[in-house]
Amino acid sequence: MINIFKKTIATILALFSMNSSAEGGLSSNEQVVFDKAMSTAKYYLNAGKQLPLFAIVLTPSNEAKSLLASNEFSNQDEALTGLLHQLLPMARNGEIVASALVMPMTEPGQPNAAMFDVESKGGNRTMLLYLYTGTGEKVQLRKVQQTNTPLKLFAPLTPPSSGTR
């Protein structure tokens, strides 16, 4: 059985092959959360630790905070769902203005990778895929794809349809 996480990654990779874009940079808020997320990822990898599923968020007062997926979940799919359940209300309630969700992608026989899902209120959503190699202080991260994709956390709310008669 293919789990949700694998389906999500497959979808993301399909989007990359169809809609790859290296144009356009990140907004200032997006750059802040991306830089902090990249720094955090490098910290884990340089320390020889497994890259966790985590998010960096930016509050309206420009305070960056980190959210680590709970280790109470039995698998990556549940952890991702749990983290999104934390992030979505924060975005909807105006508690955050930008986020960078970092998803480790490790499959036996495949290169190690990390997906950075960066988006901001009133801005864009950019998916950045990085491969990483090496261990300890010699970890190298290399961006292999970048694409803009529809907003998720900061998507405009649409009223439910009342149905047709």
Q: How confident is the model at residue 101 (pLDDT cuts 50, 70, 90)?
A: very high
Alpha carbon distance 125, 119 (integer Å): 4
Q: How confident is the model at residue 97 (pLDDT cuts 50, 70, 90)?
A: very high
Q: How many domains does the chain have?
A: 1
Residue that wins the pLDDT comparison between 48 and 116: 116
> DSSP 3-state assignment of 35?
helix
> DSSP 3-state assignment of 92?
helix
Q: How many CB atoms lie within 10 A of CB 34?
A: 19
Domain residues for the domain of 80 are 4-148
Residue 105 has pLDDT above 50, yes or no: yes
Does 51 fall in a domain?
yes
DSSP letter at 103 equals: E
Mean pLDDT of 55-73: 91
Does 163 fall in a domain?
no
Does 156 fall in a domain?
no
Percentage of residues in the chain having pLDDT higher than 90: 58
> DSSP 3-state assignment of 8?
helix
Residue 62 has pLDDT above 80, yes or no: yes
Does 161 fall in a domain?
no
Does 165 fall in a domain?
no
Q: How confident is the model at residue 19 (pLDDT cuts 50, 70, 90)?
A: very low
Does 157 fall in a domain?
no
Contacts of 133 (CB under 8 A, 6+ apart): 111, 112, 139, 140, 142
Alpha carbon distance 100, 12 (integer Å): 15
Residue 81 has pLDDT above 70, yes or no: yes
Does 159 fall in a domain?
no
- State the pLDDT at residue 74: 76
- State the pLDDT at residue 24: 46
Residue 136 has pLDDT above 90, yes or no: no
Query: Considering the chain, what is the average pLDDT of its residues?
Result: 83
Specify burial of residue 162 (Cβ count, 10 A radius: 0-12, 13-18, 19+).
exposed
Does 83 fall in a domain?
yes
- Single out the residue of 24, 26, 57, 17 nearest to residue 40, CA to CA: 57
The answer to whether the beta carbons of residues 54 and 64 sit under 8 Å apart is no
Mean pLDDT of 121-148: 90
